[in-house]
Amino acid sequence: MPTPCCAAILTTAAVDMTAPQHESASQLYLASTSPRRRELLNQIGVRHEVVAVVIDENPIAGERADNYVIRLAQAKAVAGKLACRGKTNLPVLGADTAVVVDDMILGKPANEAEGVAMLSRLAGRSHIVHTAVAIVRDEIHHYLLSTSTVSFRHITETEALAYWNSGEPADKAGGYAVQGLGAIFIARLEGSYSGVMGLPLYETAQLLRRCGITLLSPNNK
């Protein structure tokens, strides 16, 4: 089992005061600026604010991909908790996603060549998507891991270039978005759609329950 990351990996962290404020009191902080993770929390009615954190995301030599995402999810949650120290006692949620093929973690493509190469590598075969979600409240740490298998159809070079030019792949792990145009390449998905998107809602709901946040409750309005 991976050990929780310590605060030494924190580079910077700050509460994002530009995030929209909610009419009701927030239930937690989200240690991510990902609009997709915010969208998924909103989908299940979780009132939240954003804590922007930056951590060292370099993998450790020999580290397995599942342990990598667990470590980073924990690190983000801990960094967010440190940023909020003295402000609130709300739990802080962190998450991290990795697309894995041939035991290699595919990051975010830096340019057209990388984006097309990633898509070509994924085309016509299956790959793994790990997403870990972690929550920190007081000194209590919890995490859960979601693992899904995604199968792509064959993709032509013309399609790969057109997809890159759409602008969608540039900031996505693995160079595609399951919730966007990238969905047209997916022949089969076994596991969690929301996990592939970046925040597995089944696992997230379990962690929220451990912190006293019950969804579908009369008080959760």
Structure tokens given for 141: 């740490």
- Say how far apart CA 174 and CA 24 lie, in whole Å: 36
Q: Identify whether the C-beta of residue 193 lies closer than 8 Å to the C-beta of residue 127.
A: no
Query: What distance lies between CA 12 and its chain's CA centroid?
Result: 19
Catalytic residue chosen out of the listed positions 16, 56, 66, 96: 96
- Say how far apart CA 23 and CA 7 lie, in whole Å: 32
CB proximity list for 201: less than 8 A, separation 6 or greater: 40, 43, 44, 192, 194
How do the residues of the chain divide into helix, strand and coil, expressed in percent and rounded to 5?
Answer: 35, 25, 40
Catalytic residue status for 56: no
Q: Give the end-to-end CA distance of the chain in Å, rounded to a whole number.
A: 36
Taking CA atoms, 163 is separated from 89, 100, 118, 184, 195, in Å, by 43, 20, 12, 10, 22
Dihedral class, residue 13 (left if φ above 0, else alpha if ψ from -120 to 50, else beta): beta
Residues identified as active-site: 96
